[in-house]
Amino acid sequence: MIMPPLPNPQDLPLATQVAQMVVVRASGHVFDHQIRYPAWEPPAATLQSWLTDLGVGGVILLGGSAAELWLRTQQLQSWATLPLLLAADIEEGVGQRFAGATEFPPPMALAAIAQQDLPTAIALAQQMGATTAQEALAIGLNWVLAPVVDVNNNPANPVINVRAFGETPAIVGQLATAFIQGAQAYPVLTAAKHFPGHGDTAIDSHLDLPVLPHSWERLVKVEWPPFVAAIAAGVDAVMSAHVQIPALDPQYPATLSKQALTMGLRHHLGFEGLVVTDALVMGAIANRYGANEAPVLAVEAGADILLMPLDPVGAVEAVCTAVERGRISQARILASVERIWRAKQKVMAAPPCTAVGEWVTRLAQPASRQVAAQILTTSQRVRVQQPLVRADSPQHWRNLIVVDRALNCPYLDRHTPAIVLPSQWGYDRLHLVDQSLGDPNLAALEPVPTLVQIFVRGNPFRGSAALLPAVQPWLQTLGDSRSDPYGNRQLLRGLVIYGSPYAMDALLPLLPPEIPWVFSYGQMPAAQAIALQALADCHP
């Protein structure tokens, strides 16, 4: 739909100006009964009131298919009194969040390619950014909350992990810059995150507040160069991190710290675009600061966008009260609204997709899926001296799959390659281990030839990117030829790990050299098919 031009921000009432600084969470599904996270995703009547009556400036969406998003974004824009910023955390392509669109491997896969062929990695990162932006626009999104520019120099990082473009500032900066440049072919916003750096944390800020001992000199040398590169590339927004660095601010986490956002990001790095908080519902903030005090502190610190406040209405009222009492100046609010206006004017230049045929032809095209497959194949690690042993006849060998959460597993069903292909090869006795349920009694399993597939990576709210303690000794036992009561072959016939290279590196010392294994950064069905085919082939 065509939105009317933006009014002069100075002509808006204070409450409307402040509301434009708020971005609320909503389900990507169209109907209320499909809402999966009711604590964060309001029903339609509440959401419509926030957009129409309160006048919030944007919505961040999660869930649903790409087709649903096309309907949903049109609905939201029709409810809004002013054009909306419509955002999503699509760091790995639109298909990461909305089924049907292109899904890419996590950014760390590009870092693996860069170690061998930096020009190819940069070209692929640029194509990834362009595809993500094009597909976002096709379904009505205008703000890509990517790239992550954190330097993941802590292997135990439970939440950044493979979401980062690497472990060194130079590689992260180069690949993030390429992603931004690719996205800039389309009128969408990008966002570098999470300032002043979330890569060296061992605590998930969705759950609690990480505290880092880094000095100013360390930040300038390690954490900040990728932000400098992203700013130089013209990134539209920078997202704050819910981390506390006493050298910057001994009292507040970066999201609520003037020393971090205004002195560090604005003055030291010279960033003039949008400063957006990470979600204010996250434990690092929500567990320590009041629902209405946190937004006020964030605005005082220098934030332009308040992402997912616990109480949007209360947040607007609290910031207005702070202005009326002189705690925050009206000029400070107007400065943020003017930055928001510049961002909205950029995305309003995009012609909307108003017909089904328009957006269908822009999603998951063969060329885009081929780029994703190239990243998967080129970043994959393989050691297959002898291919996976297959059964000449049904043997009912075991296909043991370890997952983070079986009840929230978008990459597995009865038709995905991780289940179908092993079954065709004689590994048709499926055994699913859910890490969220604690250590299973693996030692009690019947000793039969086993293919092990492990899906593990850093994910928000998981709190860890490590394997269950029981998995490593059990794999070691399977890999011992003495464990096979029927012969002298190891019961472990093959291993595939999808996701975390750190988990793969932890298991490698336990594997005899003759055991074939494959590591893939991806977890989606395309990654499964490519990895399992490599396991079935011979790669000395």
DSSP state of 216: H
Tokens of residue 540, six digits = 């000395």
Contact 215, 171 (CB under 8 A): no
Contact 466, 156 (CB under 8 A): yes
Residue 431 a catalytic site member: no
Contact 90, 96 (CB under 8 A): yes
CB atoms under 10 Å from CB of 446, counted, come to 9
Strand partners, 499: 456
Catalytic option among 29, 194, 198, 206 = 206
193-231 as b/e: b if 16+ CB within 10 A: bbbbbbbbbebbbbbebbebebeeebbeebbbbbbbbbb
Contact 305, 21 (CB under 8 A): yes
Tokens of residue 222, six digits = 């390690």
CB atoms under 10 Å from CB of 462, counted, come to 20
| 461 vs 345: CA distance, rounded Å | 35
Residue 206 a catalytic site member: yes
Placement of tokens 């309907």 in the chain: 71
CB-facing half-sphere around the CA of 161: CA atoms within 13 A = 25
Residue 161 to residues 118, 175, 392, 419, 463: CA-CA distances in angstroms?
Answer: 20, 16, 41, 26, 12
Size of the chain in residues = 540
Catalytic option among 150, 278, 304, 404 = 278
Contact 204, 249 (CB under 8 A): no
Burial class (CB within 10 angstroms; exposed 0-12, middle 13-18, buried 19+) of 56: buried
**What does the radius of gyration of the chain's CA atoms come to, in whole angstroms?**
24
| Nearest Cα residue to 177 out of 249, 101, 213, 123 | 123
Report the catalytic residues: 206, 278
